[in-house]
Amino acid sequence: MDTDVLIVGAGPTGLMLANQLARRGVRMLIIDRHAGPSLQTRALGVQARTLEIYAQLGIADRAIELGKRGTGANLWAQGRWMARVPLGEIGQSATPYPYILILGQDDNERIMGDKLPDFGISVQWNTELVALAQEPGDVTATLRQADGSQRRIVASWVAGCDGAHSFVRELTGISFPGAPYEHVFYVADTEATGSMVPDQVNIYLWQEGFHLLFPMRGKDHWRIVGILPPNLRNEDVNFEAVVPSLRNEAGASLSFAACTWFSTYRIHHRGAAHFRNRRCFLLGDAAHIHSPVGAQGMNTGLQDAYNLAWKLALVVKGQAEATLLDSYEEERIPIARRLLNTTDRAFRLAVSDSWFAGLFRTKVLARIAAFAMSRKRIQRAAFRVVSQIGIHYRHSSLSRSLDGLPKSAPRGGDRFPWLQLKLRTDGAVEDLFQKCDDTRFNLIAIGQPLPPEGALGFGDMLRTHVIPADLANDKELARAQIPQPSFYLLRPDGHIGLCGVRLEAAAVKRYIAENLHLADRGR
Ligand SMILES: Cc1cc2nc3c(=O)[nH]c(=O)nc-3n(C[C@H](O)[C@H](O)[C@H](O)COP(=O)(O)OP(=O)(O)OC[C@H]3O[C@@H](n4cnc5c(N)ncnc54)[C@H](O)[C@@H]3O)c2cc1C
Distance from residue 14's CA to the centre of ligand 1 (Å): 10
Of the candidates 260, 252, 239, which has an alpha carbon nearest to the alpha carbon of residue 104?
260
Atom of ligand 1 nearest to the CA of 143: 42
* Pairing outcome for strands 486-490 and 73-77: unpaired
pLDDT tens sequence across 208-263? 678 889 998 888 999 998 888 878 876 789 999 999 888 887 777 889 999 998 98
Residues 6+ apart with CB under 8 A from 368: none
Give residue 229's pLDDT: 81
Query: Which pLDDT score, from 0 to 100, does residue 118 have?
Result: 97
Q: How far is ligand 1, taken at its centre, from the CA of residue 284, in Å?
A: 8
Secondary structure (3-state) at 439: coil
Single out the residue of 109, 287, 76 nearest to residue 196, CA to CA.
Answer: 76
Predicted pLDDT of residue 485: 96
Residues framing ligand 1 (Cβ under 6 A): 8-14, 31-34, 42-45, 105, 128-129, 161-163, 167, 187, 265, 284-285, 292, 295-298, 301
Tell the residue nearest (CA) to atom 8 of ligand 1. 43
DSSP conformation letters of 17-72: HHHHHHTTT--EEEE-SSSS--------EEPHHHHHHHHHHT-HHHHHHHSEEE--
- The fraction of the chain above a pLDDT of 90, given in percent, is 66
**Ligand 1, closest atom to CA 162?**
34
Backbone Cα Rg of the chain: 24
Distance of alpha carbon 434 from alpha carbon 448, whole angstroms: 22
Distance separating alpha carbons of residues 285 and 38, to the nearest angstrom: 15
At 265-298, the pLDDT tens digits run 888 889 999 999 999 999 999 999 987 766 788 9
DSSP string spanning 204-236?
EEETTEEEEEEE-SSTTEEEEEEE--GGGTTS-
Look at ligand 1, atom 7, and give the residue with the nearest C-alpha: 43
pLDDT of 356 reads 61
- Residue 359's pLDDT band, with cuts at 50, 70 and 90, is low
φ, ψ of residue 309 to 5 degrees: the values are: -60, -50
pLDDT of residue 365: 67
Instruction: For the chain, give the longest Cα–Cα distance.
Output: 72
Full-model pTM? 0.93
CA distance 105 to 180: 23
The atom number, within ligand 1, closest to the CA of 127 reads 43
Confidence of residue 358 (pLDDT cuts 50, 70, 90): low
CA 109 to ligand 1 center in whole angstroms? 11
Edge-to-edge strand order for the sheet containing 73-77?
Answer: 80-85, 73-77, 201-206, 209-215, 221-227, 178-193, 255-271, 288-289
Are 392 and 400 within 8 A, CB to CB? no
Q: Is the dihedral of CA 63, 64, 68, 74 positive or negative?
A: positive
Q: Ligand 1 center to residue 179 CA distance, Å?
A: 18
Q: What is the pLDDT of residue 253?
A: 85
Q: Ligand 1 centroid to 163 CA: how many Å? A: 5
Atom 26 (ligand 1) nearest CA: 284
Best probe residue, ligand 1, of 40, 132, 285 (max atoms within 8 Å of C-beta): 285
List, as one string, the DSSP characters of 319-363: SB-GGGGHHHHHHHHHHHHHHHHHHHHHHHHHH--SHHHHHIIII
Mean of the per-residue pLDDT values for the chain? 90
The number of the ligand 1 atom at minimal distance from the alpha carbon of 45 is 9
Going across the sheet that includes 486-490, the strands are 400-401, 496-500, 486-490, 441-446, 462-467
Ligand 1, atom 4: closest residue by C-alpha: 42
Closest Cα to atom 11, ligand 1: which residue?
297
pLDDT higher at 354 or 410: 410
Q: State mean pLDDT over 99-117.
A: 95
Which of 361, 351, 79, 76 lies closest to 233, judged by CA?
351
Min mean pLDDT across 150-159, 327-336, 491-500, 507-516 is at 507-516
Give residue 20's pLDDT.
98
Q: For residue 507, with 0-12 CB atoms within 10 Å meaning exposed, 13-18 middle and 19 or more buried, which class applies?
A: middle
Greater confidence (92 vs 140) lies with 140
Which among 387, 391, 411 is positioned nearest to 400, based on CA atoms? Answer: 411
To which H or E segment does residue 478 belong?
helix 471-479
7 Cα: distance to centroid of ligand 1 (angstroms): 14
Nearest CA to ligand 1 atom 39: 162
Give the per-residue pLDDT at 209: 73
Q: Which of 6, 30, 32 gets mutated to test ligand 1 (max ligand atoms within 8 A of its CB)? A: 32
Dihedral sign for Cα atoms in the order 377, 381, 384, 390? positive
> Could you read off the pLDDT of 420-475 as tens digits, one per residue?
999 998 889 999 999 999 999 999 999 999 988 778 888 889 999 999 999 999 99
Tell whether the model's pLDDT for residue 148 goes beyond 50: yes
The DSSP code for 273 is S
Centroid of ligand 1 to alpha carbon of 286 (angstroms): 9
Sequence-separated (6 or more) residues with CB below 8 Å from residue 287: 169, 271, 272, 275, 304, 332, 336
Report residue 522's pLDDT band, with 50, 70 and 90 as the boundaries. Answer: very low
